Structure 1
Amino acid sequence: MDVAALYSFAWRYAGRFPEPVLRAACRVAADVTWLRRTDGVRRMEANYARVRPELTPREVRRLSREGMRRYLRYFREAFTLQRLTPAQIDARVRVEGEEHARAALADGRSAVLALGHTGNWDLAGAWATPHLAPVLTVAERLRPPELYEEFVAFRRSLGIDVLGLGDDGVFRALVRGAQGGGRLLPLLADRDLTAAGIEVDLCGRRARVAAGPAALAVAGDVDLVPTGIYHERLRGERRRRAGSAWGIVLRFHAPVPRAEGNRREQMATMTQAWVDTLGAFLVERTADWHMLQRVFVEDLDPGRYAATRAGAGEA
Structure 2
Amino acid sequence: MTDASPAGTGAATPPALSVVPARPGLRARAGARVTDLGFAAGWGAVKLLPEPVARGAFDAAGRWAAGRQGRGVRQLRANLRVATDGRLTDAELDALTTRAVRSYARYWQEAFRLPRLSTERVVARTEVIGREHLDRARSRGAGLVMVLPHSGNWDAAGVWFTDYLDGPFMTVAERLRPESLYRRFVDYRESLGMRVVPLTGGPRPSTEVLREWLSDGGVTCLLVDRNLGAGGVPVSLFGRQATFPGGAALLAERTGAPLVPTVCQFTPRGWRLVFSPEVPVAGPGRLRDRVAAAMQGVADAFAEGIASQPEDWHVPGRIWPDVPPDGVPVPDGVPAGPDGAPAGGPGGTGRELR
TM-score (norm 2): 0.78
In structure 2, the gaps of 5 or more residues are 1-30, 325-343, 349-354
* 2:286 paired residue among 262, 265, 271: 262
Report the CA distance between 1:91 and its aligned residue: 2.1
Partner of 2:215: 179
Do the aligned partners of 1:137 and 1:185 also contact (CA within 8 Å) in 2? Answer: yes
* 1:138 paired residue among 169, 172, 187: 172
Kindly report the root-mean-square deviation, in angstroms, between the aligned alpha carbons of the 2 structures: 2.0
Report the CA distance between 1:297 and its aligned residue: 2.4
Partner of 1:169: 205
Distance 1:303 1:60, change over 3 A: closer
1:57-116 CA-partner distances (Å, limit 9, x unpaired):
222111010001110101111101111122212223221111211221125321111100
1:252 aligns with 2:275: yes
Partner of 1:24: 56
1:297 aligns with 2:333: no
In structure 2, how many angstroms separate the alpha carbons of the residues matched to 1:143 and 1:50?
Answer: 33
Q: Secondary structure at the match of 1:250?
A: strand
1:115-163 CA-partner distances (Å, limit 9, x unpaired):
0000000011012112225211122333443222211110011110112
Point out the structure with the larger helix share.
1
Do the aligned partners of 2:79 and 2:323 also contact (CA within 8 Å) in 1? Answer: no
One-letter amino acid of the counterpart of residue 268, structure 1: A
One-letter amino acid of the counterpart of residue 124, structure 1: A
Do the aligned partners of 1:225 and 1:254 also contact (CA within 8 Å) in 2? Answer: yes
One-letter amino acid of the counterpart of residue 192, structure 1: N
More relative contact order, 1 or 2 (CA 8 Å, 6+ apart):
2
1:207 aligns with 2:242: yes
Partner of 1:150: 184
* Equivalent runs, 1:71-82 vs 2, <5 Å: 71-82=104-115
| Range that drifts further, 86-95 or 189-198 | 86-95
Count of aligned positions: 292
Partner of 2:5: none
In structure 2, how many angstroms separate the alpha carbons of the residues matched to 1:224 and 1:265?
Answer: 16
Do the aligned partners of 2:321 and 2:347 also contact (CA within 8 Å) in 1? Answer: no
* Equivalent runs, 1:1-315 vs 2, <5 Å: 2-52=34-84, 53-132=86-165, 133-167=167-201, 169-181=205-217, 183-234=218-269, 247-258=270-281, 259-299=283-323
Report the CA distance between 1:302 and its aligned residue: 8.1
| Range that drifts further, 188-197 or 125-134 | 125-134
In structure 2, how many angstroms separate the alpha carbons of the residues matched to 1:216 and 1:118?
Answer: 23
In structure 1, how many angstroms separate the alpha carbons of the residues matched to 2:179 and 2:309?
Answer: 33
In structure 2, how many angstroms separate the alpha carbons of the residues matched to 1:14 and 1:260?
Answer: 53
Do the aligned partners of 2:142 and 2:256 also contact (CA within 8 Å) in 1? Answer: no
In structure 1, how many angstroms separate the alpha carbons of the residues matched to 2:297 and 2:213?
Answer: 23
In structure 2, how many angstroms separate the alpha carbons of the residues matched to 1:43 and 1:86?
Answer: 35
Report the CA distance between 1:196 and its aligned residue: 2.2
Task: List structure 1 segments (4+ residues) > 6 angstroms apart after TM superposition.
Answer: 300-305
In structure 1, how many angstroms separate the alpha carbons of the residues matched to 2:346 and 2:239?
Answer: 23
TM-score (norm 1): 0.87
Q: Secondary structure at the match of 2:267?
A: strand
In structure 2, how many angstroms separate the alpha carbons of the residues matched to 1:166 and 1:47?
Answer: 30
In structure 2, how many angstroms separate the alpha carbons of the residues matched to 1:58 and 1:152?
Answer: 40
Report the CA distance between 1:166 and its aligned residue: 4.5
Q: Secondary structure at the match of 1:82?
A: helix
The percent identity for this pair of structures is 35
In structure 2, how many angstroms separate the alpha carbons of the residues matched to 1:109 and 1:3?
Answer: 40
Report the CA distance between 1:303 and its aligned residue: 9.8
| Range that drifts further, 20-29 or 108-117 | 108-117
